Structure 1
Amino acid sequence: MFLIYHLSWLCYDIYVHVENGKTDDALYFTKLPNWSYTLLITSSNLIDFICTLSIHCRRKDILHQSKDEAVAMPWYSQLNWLFFEISNTIAVIITIGFYSFLKPVGTPLALEYHVINSVYVLLSFFICSKPVRILHFIYPEIYMVIYIVFSVIYQLGGNNPAIYSILDWNEPARAMYTVLAVICVAVPIVHMTFFGLHIFRDRIYKCCKKQPGIEDIEYEDKEVKEATV
């Protein structure tokens, strides 16, 4: 259902972009929200659906594994997990950046790409049980570095205008301040926030269950230790 919902917004956005020939960007996918919305569709909807279908049909051993049993995670589940941690962090950063440094507008598309995207990842985060690992902050870092390199190539290599005024490479000092703020501050803080929410979510789940035995308590402690790796 959400795959159709998000694809509908993406198709409508591309349609509006193509119909409006006076837009200030030559390429649709120069904007970070458009990158990330596509990633959201790919990770949270399409790959999630494929993983769920594959595990329920072909890997039922994963569903019925015990606490002490180690079952190898299939590669598509690892890919889904990777995109999950990237899209969550980037979605929140986009919302914060949009209302902190740019001129926000109240159109339905702007709200969908810059506000509802974060609402969706937060709701999805609390509904699912995918874990968050501290050291995995490197994945959204790599994603942002790729976008920053793209912005340099697009602007300077293609002699195009800056994608964002705060990322104008004709003013390298200002652009580098933005890069450092995102890479060294925003991404780690947002990712650590999701890690804290991950611990909070799991504690709520365990509190809703019956009083755990000694074995369950030991298992919980082991989970918290593993979460830091």
Structure 2
Amino acid sequence: MGCWETIRQELRISNFKVNHPVPHLFLASEWQEHPVACVRLWYVVYRWVWALYHLGWWAVSLAQEGGWNAPIQRKGYFFIYLTNWAYTSIVLMTTAHASIVTNAWLTYRRTAQLPKTTTLRLKVLWVMQNVVFLPALLITAAYWSAVYNPDDPIGAINVDVHIINSVYVLIDLCVSATPIRILHFYIPFVFMFIYLIFTLVYWAAGGTTPEGGTAIYPIMDWENLQVTLPFVACCAVFSPIMQATVWAVHQARVAVRERCFGSRSPLAPLPHPATMDVILGRDASMESVNERTPDPVTSHIV
């Protein structure tokens, strides 16, 4: 399939939906066998490593908000920043992903079965991944280009939530077999829009930063719409562009795998137990028929 045909297929209206014909992709790595025969233990470990890593840094970041000994009221400011909203979503998504993959691994060990449809939990996971991937890249780009003050020291937490967040996204885009849809750009946009409404309500209610400022971020100052509105417009324009970029990384991953290991054919789980029962039942019935059918020679002798 050519490049333009691939893009045309990708832009079909049906791809707005959170549904996929090959649900096993959410439980597998791009670099394991295809068709996928099972959930790999190493992939379960991979998912938990990231989940625990992000959870640990999130806890440290919250504990250090305003200083280790700051009162609870001061630590509440942690939740007014988009960076922390996005990093919290990373923690929730990676933990959910690790839990779902672990459950699938345990289920497969018992039943040798993989999901045949995009279940509700897989749909929720796909939404969460879309919420994580694009905002992480946008936050990294916006922070270092428009928010960061060169006079401020760069601490470990700052590096984690403004650099490692995007490093994780790029690594996971290369490792995971999770599909990406260009037309899912509206999902992270809704997330960003909800945060935008929060900042407006927070400002209107008299909320301030820990330092007493009225603008949570200089580029999102509701008292200076000449700065805020162009930034909002840029986010609206760049959301589809960034989603298309993420999709391009996903396509490059698939192309590299197919060039190295051959075409990725549709995933083919083992037969359903009911199907096996039918097959075994048919064999058993044939055996019983053979047992009941007398041998022609023997019957003639008798």
Is TM-score (shorter-chain normalized) higher than 0.5? yes
Q: Which amino acid aligns with 1:167?
A: M
Unaligned runs of 5+ in 1: 64-70, 220-229
What is the distance in 1 between the residues matched to 2:139 and 2:199? 16
Counterpart position of 2:78: 28
Please state if 1:76 is matched with 2:121: yes
What is the distance in 1 between the residues matched to 2:86 and 2:172? 16
> Across the two proteins, how many residue pairs are aligned to each other?
205
C-alpha contact (below 8 Å) 1:3/1:41 kept by paired residues: yes
C-alpha contact (below 8 Å) 1:25/1:163 kept by paired residues: no
Q: Which amino acid aligns with 2:124?
A: L
C-alpha contact (below 8 Å) 1:47/1:80 kept by paired residues: yes
Structure 1 position 145, deviation (Å): 0.3
Please state if 1:112 is matched with 2:164: no
Counterpart position of 2:189: 141
Instruction: Tell me the SS of whatever aligns to 1:76.
Output: helix
Please state if 1:88 is matched with 2:136: no
What is the distance in 2 between the residues matched to 1:124 and 1:156? 39
Structure 1 position 52, deviation (Å): 0.4
Task: Kindly report which structure 2 residues correspond to 1:1-229, keeping only aligned pairs within 5 A, or say none.
Answer: 1-19=49-67, 21=70, 27-43=77-93, 45-58=94-107, 60-62=112-114, 71-104=116-149, 105-160=153-208, 161-185=214-238, 187-210=239-262
TM-score, normalising length from structure 1? 0.82
Structure 1 position 159, deviation (Å): 4.3
TM-score, normalising length from structure 2? 0.63
What is the distance in 2 between the residues matched to 1:159 and 1:204? 49
Unaligned runs of 5+ in 2: 1-48, 209-213, 267-302
What is the distance in 2 between the residues matched to 1:176 and 1:152? 12
Q: Measured at CA, do residues 144 and 180 of structure 1 come closer, stay the same or move farther in structure 2, by a change above 3 Å?
A: same
Percent of aligned pairs sharing the same letter: 24
Bigger-Rg structure (1/2): 2
Counterpart position of 1:222: none
Structure number with higher relative contact order (C-alpha < 8 Å, ≥ 6 residues apart): 2
What is the distance in 2 between the residues matched to 1:191 and 1:86? 11
Q: Measured at CA, do residues 26 and 58 of structure 1 come closer, stay the same or move farther in structure 2, by a change above 3 Å?
A: closer
Structure 1 position 107, deviation (Å): 1.0
C-alpha contact (below 8 Å) 1:3/1:46 kept by paired residues: yes
Instruction: Tell me the SS of whatever aligns to 1:61.
Output: coil
What is the distance in 2 between the residues matched to 1:53 and 1:117? 23
What is the distance in 1 between the residues matched to 2:159 and 2:235? 22
Structure 1 position 18, deviation (Å): 4.3
Which contiguous aligned blocks of 4+ residues in structure 1 show a shift greater than 6 angstroms? Answer: none
Q: Which amino acid aligns with 2:77?
A: L
